[in-house]
Chains A and B, each alone.
Chain A
Amino acid sequence: MKVGIIGGGGWGKALATLIASAGHQPRIGFRGSRPSGFPGTPNLEALASESDLLFLAVPSEAVVDAVEACSLDAASRLIIASRGLEPRHGVWISDYVSDHTPCRQIGAIAGPALASEVMAGHPTALVAASPFEAVQEATVSALHSARCRVYTTDDLCGVQLAGAMVGALAIAVGVADGVDFGIGAKGVIITRGIAEASRLGDAIGADARTFSGLAGVGDLVSCASSPLHPGFAAGRSLAEGGAVSSHIILQLRALLALSRRVGVDLPLTTAVLAIATGESRPKRVFDELMRRAARPE
């Protein structure tokens, strides 16, 4: 199977490593400098049309340009490996692709696979989501090996939501770590964060079970345990008085806009945005969260 990867960053190279382990020959489509150690091409359109399966592994803010450059057609099979919503339009990346290209056979992957650990050869697992069984099967074939187990689901919306929410919650865990709230606070953030994601998922038609799987709990636990995770690192930086990139703020705003559209309250995500924008200090935000009225779990 010919497998293309759009994006020559750390995650793109990690995917290429997994794909090679599964016995395929990946090619990376890149802009700028050629990723070392992997076959690649700067011609994204050619790569898209020559690939049986195409992974999109660029930061969410680069999705629009990458999709435009690929000129996807009706035969394309695209797997979204980017995390979060498309920030310019505030929609799921799958919806953006569907609204602006003929491509319909779309899937997404998520899970507790850190790029650095994959590159180091550690075992990992991912969930591949698509309403199309053929896309699920192709993704399993592309990635499943002794180094990576791949599970399948048809809950594309849930897996994308889990990825976006984990990105936000990892920041909250990083902040809690940075202000030294202890391991118990991280446990609270993880469980209440998953409850928050499940409520939003329920409102938009996702399967609640997705959040207790690899894309939800699995990914969040790995984030909470690793200072290497970009979200966790961003949270720690905030706790120490640093700043985060505007892309993270755009992501948080897009998530909150979605939650308002469907009438779901996201207290933890709101708190993270308040900290990220500097509207409120971490300790004060957590203090306010703790003072919320008691309620059944």
Chain B
Amino acid sequence: MLPISISGFTVATHTLINPSHRSIDKALIGRMDEFLGALDDQAMAAYLANTVFLERSRFSKHPDGVTAKERDRIEGLARALTQGPVAMRKAAGRLVRAYSREIHNRFSDVSFSTAMRLAPAALTRLLSPADSGSRIWPEADGADRVVVSGPIDKIRALAEHHTLIIAPTHVSNLDSLLVGYALHLAGLPACTYGAGLNLFSNPVMGFLMSKLGAYTVDRRKGHRLYKDVLKAYSTELIGRGAHSLFYPGGTRSRSGCVETALKRGLLGTGIVAWQEGLAEEAPSPEVLVVPVTLSCSLVLEAETLIEDALSADGGARYIISDDEFSRPSTVLKFAQQLIALDTSVVVRFGAPMDTLGNPVDEQGLSMDGDGRVFDRRLYVTDRCGKAVEDTQRDREYTNHLAKALLGAYQRDTVVLPTHLAAFVGWHALGVRFPRLDTYNRALLAPFEQWVDRSVMVAGIAAAADAVDAAVLRGRCRSMLPTGKNRATEILTMAVDAFSGVHTRQVLSFEDWRVLVDPKLSLYYGNRLSGLLSPKDIQMEENP
């Protein structure tokens, strides 16, 4: 584990490439023209009809927040569909320009560079103890709030000559700030990233994010044209050497589980940008991917997220705009709680990989599973070095990358006391009520929500041993206390950490019992699903 000192640290030797409106507009329109030009009139009509249909459906289902301009653009496109190919292509061009501005509109050269100078220092003050604002300790010390670990030196060196795609797990809307802060602590360059339009519902966070390199992603727009513009935008930025951050999971984990499936859309833009760079013989065409695993003791939006995961209409609420994150006072209170913890968040930078998921060495050269270096350009060129375009092949390559990322997320997840105690609490309720399924267990009445304290301690002891075994097998990481009474210590740490964070207590002591909130214990315990099973907790049924 790498201790990092930020004393005297100067931000980013890397120059973040921040294209102007005009330049990015031009590039995007060029890309989309090329794409649309390759479609015949019939395919083009079907492609645009999909846009009209999905946008009209959205307008009628969720009329709030739809502007008159948006409606006009889509109705204009609908009319053009009946007026022949020339009108159709013109209307499509107008829509591409509008989307290009919408995605890019929060970027401003001046405010971005100012924010890049000021924001890290502000975040350092926010997330560091008052008497040590300029230090971060190694994780073994356990005294720091944000632990940053992983092969940082290697990633920092690679960032000099490679464009990085930072690919974190996604837990909370605070993640972008957290990762930005971790990048700063680690001395890694700043990234540009896509942030959902809904994240801007909190005015303070929205302002900070937009100034920290966020471009806007409107996830309500599900049609292909918008997604293609977004992908073209991402490809363009990576191609220009802008380090980028994507959440391959697509959205925050609703259940609390570590990601088990990834979205391929933006992730696939890395391999496209790399190939374009090779074909154009760009000076630094190489693109690498860095998995980042966030392990948080507490999650601000836990209550809303688990409700959403459990509710039957989870799909309709896919984009939550009214969660804890949208209330500034709640965020502030949560930040204060977080700062009071010894270790609140572990940000683990994983081993860098190429755009197919192969590990890379110190120079960024790809290695096979046995550690032998090979020429990765042959994945996309013939043996004479001529580029071979094949979008289906690239999609499949991206599947390989996704598989490698999922493996890294599981291996680099750090088990924290809150996860372990919540896991045991949830399953201890299962032992008390063996006939209840997940949903009915989550709906236990308040007077039923308890577990014998000694049962909890025994369960935590067994689960902690199982975690130790998993760590030895390289299946995860852990930051659990050691020693004779560690089960009691883990339980106490978790109860203290959860105290007053959410509107309901996740775990709390009451005489000889531990009160367990079923939904929240399910949420926090889910971080260990796939790693531990109820069999690992050898508990007796409560009397």
Residues of A within 8 A of B (CB): 49, 73-75, 98-102, 104-105, 131-134
Contacts and interface: CB of A to CB of B under 8 A. Distances in A.
A212 B368 CA distance: 36
Given A102-B358, A134-B390, 18 more contacts: A73-B378, A74-B374, A74-B377, A74-B378, A75-B381, A75-B383, A100-B370, A101-B368, A101-B369, A102-B368, A102-B374, A102-B379, A104-B397, A131-B396, A131-B399, A132-B396, A133-B392, A133-B393
A94 to B, nearest CB: 12
B249 to A, nearest CB: 20
Contact of B376 (A100, A102, A132, A133): A102
Interface string B345-380: 000000000001010000000101110001111110
Contacts of B383: 49, 75
A99 B379 CA distance: 16
Nearest to B366: A102
A190 to B, nearest CB: 34
A133 B379 CA distance: 15
Interface of B: 356, 358, 366, 368-370, 374-379, 381-383, 390, 392-393, 396-397, 399-400
A134 B366 CA distance: 23
5 contacts: A73-B378, A75-B382, A101-B369, A104-B396, A105-B393
A100 B399 CA distance: 18
3 pairs of A and B residues whose beta carbons are closest in the complex: A74-B378, A75-B378, A102-B374
A75 B380 CA distance: 8
B430 to A, nearest CB: 20
B378 to A, nearest CB: 4
A132 B382 contact: no
Contacts of A74: 366, 374-379
Nearest to B358: A102
Nearest to A131: B396
Contacts of B366: 74, 102
Contact of B379 (A49, A75, A98): A75
A68 to B, nearest CB: 9
A132 B391 CA distance: 10
A134 B370 contact: no
B59 to A, nearest CB: 37
Given A74-B375, A104-B379, A99 B369 contact: yes
B369 A100 contact: yes
A114 to B, nearest CB: 32
Contacts of B376: 74, 102
A104 B356 CA distance: 9
A143 to B, nearest CB: 21
Contacts of B377: 74
A75 B386 CA distance: 12
Nearest to B397: A104
Nearest to A50: B383
B399 to A, nearest CB: 7
A134 B392 contact: yes
Contacts of B392: 132-134
A131 B370 CA distance: 24
Contacts of B369: 98-101
A101 B358 CA distance: 10
B108 to A, nearest CB: 41
A100 B368 contact: yes
A133 B369 CA distance: 25
A233 B241 CA distance: 62
A131 B396 CA distance: 7
A47 B257 CA distance: 47
